[in-house]
Amino acid sequence: MVRGDSNRRWRRIFLILAAIAGAYALLAPLTSLDAAQSANVPLLADRLWFRLATITAMFIVMATAWNIIGGITGYAAFGNVAFFGIGAYTTGMLIAKARWPFLLSLPLAPIVAAAFAALVGLPLLRLRGHYFAVASLGVGVAVGELVQNIDYRGQPVFGGASGLFLPIYAIDNRGLFFFYLMLAAAAASIAVTWLVLRSRFGYGLIAIRENEEAAAVLGVNTTAYKVAAFSLAAALTGLAGGIFSQWNVFINQDNAFPIEYNVQMILMALLGGTGTAFGPAAGAVLLQLLIQFLGGTLPISIDIPFVSTTARPVVAQIILGLLLVAVVIFVPRGIIDFFGGRTRLSLGYLRRSLRETSL
Amino acid sequence: MSQPAPQLELRSVTKRFGGVAAVDDVSFEVAKGEIIGIIGPNGAGKTTLLNCISGVYGLDAGDIRWGGGSIAGMAPYRIARLGIGRTFQIVRPFGSMTVLENAAIGALFGRDSARLAPKEAFKQAGRVLELVGLAAKASLPVSALTIPDRKRLEVARAVATRPHLLLLDEVMAGLNNVEIDEALDMVRAVHATGVTVLLIEHVMRVIVGVCRRAIVLESGRVLAEGEPEVVLRDERVIQAYLGERYAKRLKS
């Protein structure tokens, strides 16, 4: 019973911390409003805060979306950044070239991304394991190259190497608006995952992950389910891309198709806990904070001994890499595992995990 | 006595792997409510035949008819939705799930007209676990189950799809005598709920114990068909199992 009590305590601590973090994220931006400033409320959210918080919310969307195909369905997609870029370019092109209003063009980002995922998913999702991972990575890289290099009559269709400039979205408190919009997308992706995990669809996806042949003979339409999961992940990722394009005002191959996002979203999902509704979000927040902390962009910072400030980003990458190796080996089910009330962090847990992960 | 209309009908079913015909011109019928056994030595094509019926393999020739329509070449999930459930010889549980969740997947999917919402599916799964004798272990992870229990779970998952026809692929293999008796009771209990059963077995006792009719396969062909006791005394069958010399010795 002692163990159960301690678990309950941990769980309560976690819930309180999550509630505080959530309330802070929701309310801090309000202090930047003119009304709050004239009432002498301390400013809790400056430009940098908005930048970091919006990017964090963006990664919550991407990690949570990746989890639907990678975590729940068990297909390690390494090219999801393609959907982010497609979403960004869909909204970007509609705004910059067709002069559509932002809020009208945003819904097309998830639709186009999902349609593209269905198209490439049909052949790709026949592959398993490493083959699917490598093929999806190929698609991720190829789409970015295509977008930059497609010409029509000598003119780049999508802005080419010089990128695509969007008109600034005319709205008061832009930073606040885009933060809340991205946060809403993050909440939506978590809610979608939560619903999926409780539906016949979700159980079918888990069955596919655990044993695809067995799922098929029980009546799961495996092809349709896999494509649907891939498209759903693509839609959410594309939504984040669509918001990003108008928020950032400028998109090109480098910021709409960053290859490192592929790895980061997967690592976030792994760190937090794959297959769960809240794990990837927790992982996204933690990893993003860590990246920023090591990079020295957070207000709180430490000096890393023997390292000059210019070398910090490189050292940050190394520390990140080591941490993630440790996570994969010792906490394979992610940190969310400690908050479900069943397990707790102890030497025994790490030892058991090591046994499980080393064959 | 008038014969009931066949539920499942195989017409000259043939499946080749390269030059080898694993199933060669096999024809038989299964009537509604029957328990029929398919036996044969290793490599006779029993599992291949079952894979053909459940849609895991396509056919090279012949036809498989179910309730009057052809199901040859249909995807496995569509065949499952028509009400044909199956187990795998090498059990394929959903490892991360509990015993109850495994059975619930069957209830969530399976036969089209009987699909259940998640809440109902879990209730149905509970009832099926009771039927196969796993109710006490419902909340355990699959990894905690013994081999006989894993085989039970394999059956439970297929039964939970509420099939009209259940194909059992060597669910008794590897079990000891006591476990076989328990498994036989389980098969009888499932059959008593109105399910037609086609079982593949290596163990003769099983076929004699529950089947009224047996089909002997050898090298992909039907060697003999009839009542189990009669079939098992058939000289050709003894030869196929034990070799020509032994058959001759037995005869003299």
pLDDT in tens, B15-48: 999 889 999 999 999 999 999 999 988 888 999 9
Q: How confident is the model at residue A4 (pLDDT cuts 50, 70, 90)?
A: low
The model carries a pTM of 0.91
Give the highest mean pLDDT range of A308-317, A322-331, A338-347.
A322-331
pLDDT of residue B3: 52
pLDDT of residue B5: 65
Strand segments, DSSP code E, in chain A are 151-152, 155-156, 164-165, 250-251
Q: What is the mean pLDDT of residues A163-180?
A: 92
Whether pLDDT at B243 is above 80: no
Q: List, for residues A213-269, the tens digit of each pLDDT value.
A: 999 999 999 999 999 999 999 999 999 999 999 999 999 999 999 988 998 899 999
Q: Say if the Cβ atoms of A207 and B105 lie within 8 Å.
A: yes
Tokens representing B60?
């090279």
The mean of the pLDDT values for chain B is 90
H helix count then E strand count, chain A: 16, 4
Q: Say if the Cβ atoms of A211 and B97 lie within 8 Å.
A: no
Instruction: Name the CATH superfamily, with its identifier, for domain B1-83+164-252.
Output: P-loop containing nucleotide triphosphate hydrolases (3.40.50.300)
Phi and psi of B146, rounded to 5°? -80, 170
Q: What is the mean pLDDT of residues B225-246?
A: 82
Phi and psi of B47, rounded to 5°? -70, -35
Q: Which of B106, B83, B87, B125 is nearest to A204 (CA)?
A: B106
Q: Is ipTM > 0.85 here? A: yes
Alpha-carbon span A244 to A223, nearest angstrom: 31
Q: Say if the Cβ atoms of A200 and B118 lie within 8 Å.
A: yes
Q: List, for residues B114-145, the tens digit of each pLDDT value.
A: 788 999 999 999 999 999 999 999 999 999 99
CB contacts, 8 Å: B77 with chain A:
216-222
Find the range with the poorest average confidence among A7-21, A63-77, A86-100, B176-190: A7-21
Q: How far is A36 from chain B (nearest CA, A)?
A: 48
List the single best residue of A195, A218, A226 to mutate versus B (max B Cβ within 10 A).
A218
Q: Say if the Cβ atoms of A217 and B106 lie within 8 Å.
A: no
Q: What is the mean pLDDT of residues A82-93?
A: 97
* Residue from the list A199, A217, A275 with its beta carbon closest to the beta carbon of B80: A217
Give how far the C-alpha of residue B138 lies from the chain's centroid of Cα atoms, to the nearest Å: 24
* Residue from the list B76, B96, B158 with its beta carbon closest to the beta carbon of A216: B76
Q: Say if the Cβ atoms of B110 and A198 lie within 8 Å.
A: no
Q: What is the mean pLDDT of residues A87-107?
A: 96
Q: Give exposure, B116-130, as e/b (b: 16+ Cβ within 10 Å).
A: beeeebbebbbebbe
Q: How confident is the model at residue A211 (pLDDT cuts 50, 70, 90)?
A: very high
* Residue from the list B75, B110, B112 with its beta carbon closest to the beta carbon of A218: B110
CB A207 within 8 A of CB A220: yes
Please provide the DSSP assignment of B110-146 as one string.
SSGGG---HHHHHHHHHHHHHHHT-GGGTTSBGGG--
pLDDT of residue A1: 40
pLDDT of residue B123: 95
Higher pLDDT, residue A327 or A198: A198
Q: List, for residues A50-67, the tens digit of each pLDDT value.
A: 999 999 999 999 999 999
Please provide the DSSP assignment of A99-117 as one string.
---HHHHTTHHHHHHHHHH
Q: How confident is the model at residue B4 (pLDDT cuts 50, 70, 90)?
A: low
Q: What is the mean pLDDT of residues A152-175?
A: 88
Q: What is the mean pLDDT of residues A117-123?
A: 96
pLDDT of residue A6: 63
Q: How confident is the model at residue A351 (pLDDT cuts 50, 70, 90)?
A: confident
The mean of the pLDDT values for chain A is 89
Q: Write down the domain spans for chain B.
A: 1-83+164-252, 92-162
Q: Write down the domain spans for chain A.
A: 1-45, 46-259
Alpha-carbon span B235 to B221, nearest angstrom: 16
Q: Say if the Cβ atoms of B77 and A211 lie within 8 Å.
A: no
Alpha-carbon span A82 to A286, nearest angstrom: 24
* Residue from the list A199, A203, A222 with its beta carbon closest to the beta carbon of B105: A203
Higher pLDDT, residue A171 or A208: A208
Q: How confident is the model at residue A9 (pLDDT cuts 50, 70, 90)?
A: confident
Using a pLDDT cut of 70, give the percent of chain A over it.
95
Q: Kindly tell me the burial class for residue B99, based on how many C-beta atoms sit within 10 Å of its own C-beta (0-12, 13-18, 19 or more).
A: buried
